[in-house]
Structure 1
Amino acid sequence: MAVRSSPLALTVLAILTYKPLHPYGMQRLIKEWGKDQVVNVGQRTSLHRAIDRLAEGGLIRVHATERDHAYPERTVYEITEAGRVTARAWMKEMLATPRKDFPDFPAALSNLLMIAPQEALSALEGRAARVSAALDEHDRILADNARDGLDRVSGLETEYARTITAAEHAWLLSTIEALRAGTLTWTSATS
């Protein structure tokens, strides 16, 4: 069975390259290493589905089953050689090929005519405040990395996220200014 690449599947393979782990340990490391900023592990079922797909595809296998009276039985997984090869191929593909994503924000912008400019202004001001806070968080993480003497490569995803966030923030501020000045206006479909 061919397994389709995904950010979560790649991250699971990368973590298992480090050492065999059970799903809870994988989730903990993903969060500990800050990978939850780039992959969604908020729902444990998503992680379990990814693990199941990787195992069915022969990219990971059961390493051991741990039994501890304080915890339910835990299955520990390890990466296979096919998993190592596949992870490297996915990594190269993801690095080299832009993929069309369909996030919520551009979809909402494409339907802005549904609401009045004043409603859009209020919503965009709220978003700008949240994006500004995200910029501050990226800066904090990068400063912590520098303070801790981490190599730049360990924070490249944060650098990238900060660059994208800064561009969005600048765009939001200019759009908010145009709405406030009345140079960007329309009649909403519900008016």
Structure 2
Amino acid sequence: MAQRKVGNPLALAVLAELLVEAMHPYEIGRRLKEHGNDRTLKYNRGSLYMVVEQLKKAGFIAERETVRDTQRPERTVYALTDAGRDELYDWLRELVAQPRNEYPQFGVALSLLSVLAPHDATALLRQRLDRLNAQIEEIRETVRTASDNGVIWVFLVEDEYELAVLEAECRFVTRLIESLQRPDYIRAWQEILGSQT
């Protein structure tokens, strides 16, 4: 994986928005929200302006003009540079082609799950399963509404990916709950850790 001058994933989204046309950061933020990127990227107005400044310093975007209308303060319009276009395509190709080890916190919890009594772990995992199913329904509704409004599938592909991941996690958690309820596991846990609680 290449070392990026600006490694924040928000920078990639900003570059992609500027590929379409030059615009000011406020408009970039509005479009990110409109395109649903606020569901996959964590950012606020301040972080967006910080990333825009980093991209400018890296030479990936450049000021095109400053506009002012009577009701709003001055706004600087930014455009993608050739270096920015190259960075966008190189970075995106890398992310699409190369699997990356990510370290979700649930993985940490699973590695230490045996500390919890089987009935506690089972109850907590059932809560997780309820929350996962609620997220799945919310995403399905979002996709359904967007499709009904004529949004083409490629603009919903991150939602479809998230659905696939959540559905896989639901299957995993369901099997894990079943395993935690097996008498042989409960017996083993009681022999090893039961006296510690």
TM-score (norm 2): 0.83
Map residues 23-172 of structure 1 onto 2, 5 A cutoff.
23-41=25-43, 43-68=44-69, 70-172=71-173
Instruction: Give the Cα separation in 2 of the matches to 1:189 and 1:23.
Output: 59
Q: Distance in 2 between matches of 1:90 and 1:107?
A: 28
Q: Give yes or no for the alignment of 1:176 onto 2:177.
A: yes
CA shift, 1:11, in A, is: 0.6
Q: 1:174 to 1:58 in 2, by over 3 A?
A: same
Distance in 2, Cα, partners of 1:190 & 1:8: 46
CA separation of 1:27 and 1:118: change in aligned 2, threshold 3 A: farther
CA distance in 1, matches of 2:46, 2:181: 44
Q: Do structure 1's residue 12 and structure 2's residue 14 form an aligned pair?
A: yes
Whether the aligned pair in 2 keeps the contact of 1:64 and 1:76 (CA below 8 Å) is: yes
| Unaligned segments of structure 2, at least 5 residues | none
> Any idea what SS the aligned residue of 2:68 has?
strand
Unmatched tracts of structure 1, length 5 or more: none
Instruction: Indicate if the aligned counterparts of 2:60 and 2:87 stay in contact, CA closer than 8 A.
Output: yes
Aligned partner of residue 64 in structure 1, secondary structure: strand
- Give, in angstroms, the shift of residue 140 of structure 1: 1.5
Q: Structure 2 counterpart of 1:36, which letter?
A: D
Q: Is the 8 A contact 2:129 2:170 kept in 1?
A: yes
How far apart, in 2, do the equivalents of 1:132 and 1:155 lie? Answer: 19
Distance 2:195 2:5 in 1: 44
Please give the secondary structure, in 1, of the residue aligned with 2:11: helix
Aligned length: 189
CA distance in 1, matches of 2:109, 2:45: 28
Deviation at 1:29, TM superposition (A): 1.3
Contact 1:30–1:36, Cα closer than 8 Å, also in 2: yes
1:84-136 deviations in whole A, cap 9, x for unaligned? Answer: 11101111111100111111111121122343333322321221111101111
Judging changes above 3 Å, is the alpha-carbon distance between structure 1 residues 39 and 189 closer, same or farther for their aligned structure 2 residues? farther
| Structure 1 stretch displaced more, 63-72 or 14-23 | 63-72
CA RMSD across the alignment: 2.3
Q: 1:184 to 1:131 in 2, by over 3 A?
A: farther
| Structure with larger Rg | 2
Tell which deviates more after alignment, 66-75 or 86-95: 66-75
Contact 1:59 1:79 (8 Å CA) reproduced? yes
